[in-house]
Structure 1
Amino acid sequence: MNPRQQTILQMVIDNGRVSVAELARTTGVSEVTIRQDLNLLERQSYLRRAHGYAVPVDSDDVEARMMNNFPLKRRLAMAAASLVQDGETVFIENGSSNALLARELAENKRVTIITVSSYIAHLLKETDCEVILIGGIYQKKSESMVGPLTRQFIGQVHFSKAFIGIDGWLPGTGFTGRDMMRSDVVSAVLDKGSEAIVLTDSSKFGVMHPYTLGPMEKFSRVITDDGLDPDIQHALERHALQIDKVPRVTPA
């Protein structure tokens, strides 16, 4: 890694999300050169590229994550939306695929959306959808509400389905998250006993993070893509989970 690439990586780590144009201005080279540097750093797993930006590997920036593999996440969102009927009230947790789901529902169905994500609430401000934004401690990077107040508010609302994002899953740990406070919010949602649906791409399976989201028996369905390992699918099905898969590549 040369000194310019070290500067790029440090800027991304410090800021969480940096545009190609800003990196070019700071380092004094062309945007073409910056993109070449970012390609190298991404191949070496130091950062990720996302629609004109560079973000850390574990970035919480929802918009940056949404633009990463957008077509697949769009198909996941459409598959999830097909499970929701007009008139339902649903809970949608934080995350890029969940944000796309919220927009799909708001634009095409008469529903009420409860969420802890201020990003999702803002995304739906021009729609006719009824949005209930749960309060709490504001996590700035993830644009999500967390903490004891959030848990208390969740106990006061009711919904028929909950769409949950995950960071990892292994047979011995179940579904896990990398943020303790956001994982606690998911636990509070699961305690409501509504239909809990995991919405995630297949890359999250086979990965472990520190915080358990809840007992496997509290989840009812997984919506993912056809890159899911068959052994993992069988393990999930042994927990009575229904598995819905969408194609990773758009059908011709």
Structure 2
Amino acid sequence: MLPIERQVKIKEYLVEKGFASVEDLSKLFNVSEMTIRRDLDELHKQGLIQRIYGGAMANDPAFFEMSVIAKSTQFSHEKEKIGQAAAELVNDGETILMDSGTTTLEIAKNLKYKKITLITNALNVAIELAVCPQIEIIVAGGILRKAVLNTVGPQTESFINDVRVDKAFIGVEGVHPDTGISVPDLLNAHSKRVMMSIAHQSIVVADHSKLGRNTTNKIASLEDVDMIITDSKADPSIVKQLQEKTFVKIIE
């Protein structure tokens, strides 16, 4: 296969999957990792893909959702701070709901000594807290999205719709002053919308890179969000616009 042919196929693969590691692409096309890196660098130079640590992703983030592995390398320090701050809002005896995401996973890491009931559709969140005997964990079934380790679909929504929680922590891909909060996946957006509807308080956790972005599937308007927790790198002008419609907590 000629390099140009392989590069076209790599781009098509990234558009379909959203993200791929150098190692995976090397195995897929049966070439060395060095060759794949050269291909990715060339595609990046042409503006056709985005290079990230360990691999690459499709160029337009509005139409795909990165995998848990890919997300975990981005703004990890900021997500840790957001996770700590969000966990401080949780009180013993509460029933909380958390969906999938690397930021919500950071919340889970800081809840290990709380006595709570957790409802989640995120396998990684459930596994993180499974070692805690004082936490009751209820996992919503449904269609498993393998790249991000959460369940979606009618079964998930039906289950969640029958419960009530004190707080719901929602991870998103876009927080826009005009269009609200959003994610690329339609079923995921539906599930998150149901989660917010059964919560006494809906809290969105999003690092600064999500602010000002608008992805393809709207979850809710900002007026439906009780609080947004973000980090201090957020654009002040965007934060000001968001604050006109909801409460924004900025973590230093």
Q: Same fold judged by TM-score > 0.5?
A: yes
**2:74 aligned with 1:68:** yes
Aligned counterpart for 2:178 among listed residues 172, 179, 201: 172
Q: Secondary structure at the match of 1:84?
A: coil
Q: Counterparts of 1:161 and 1:79 in 2: how far apart (Å)? A: 14
**2:197 aligned with 1:194:** no
Q: Counterparts of 1:26 and 1:146 in 2: how far apart (Å)? A: 29
**2:121, 2:139 within 8 Å by CA — same for their partners in 1?**
yes
Residue in structure 2 matched with residue 238 of structure 1 by the alignment: 244
TM-score, scaled to structure 2? 0.81
One-letter amino acid of the counterpart of residue 173, structure 1? T
Q: How does 1:86-235 map to 2 (within 5 A)?
A: 86-106=92-112, 108-128=113-133, 129-235=135-241
TM-score, scaled to structure 1? 0.81
Residue in structure 2 matched with residue 250 of structure 1 by the alignment: none
One-letter amino acid of the counterpart of residue 46, structure 1? I
One-letter amino acid of the counterpart of residue 137, structure 2? V
Q: Counterparts of 1:100 and 1:169 in 2: how far apart (Å)? A: 19
Structure 2: where are the runs of 5+ without partners?
none
- Over the matched positions of the two proteins, sequence identity in percent amounts to 32
One-letter amino acid of the counterpart of residue 118, structure 1? L
**2:14 aligned with 1:9:** no
Change in 2 beyond 3 A, CA 1:193/1:20: closer
Q: Secondary structure at the match of 2:72?
A: helix
The structural deviation recorded for 1:174 is: 1.6
**1:177, 1:210 within 8 Å by CA — same for their partners in 2?**
yes
For 1:66-93, what per-residue CA distance to the aligned partner results, in whole angstroms no more than 9, with x for missing partners?
2222222112211211211233221111
Q: Secondary structure at the match of 2:220?
A: coil
Q: Counterparts of 1:116 and 1:200 in 2: how far apart (Å)? A: 18
Change in 2 beyond 3 A, CA 1:53/1:127: farther
Change in 2 beyond 3 A, CA 1:54/1:155: same
Structure 1: where are the runs of 5+ without partners?
248-252
Q: Counterparts of 2:193 and 2:27 in 1: how far apart (Å)? A: 44
Change in 2 beyond 3 A, CA 1:40/1:87: farther
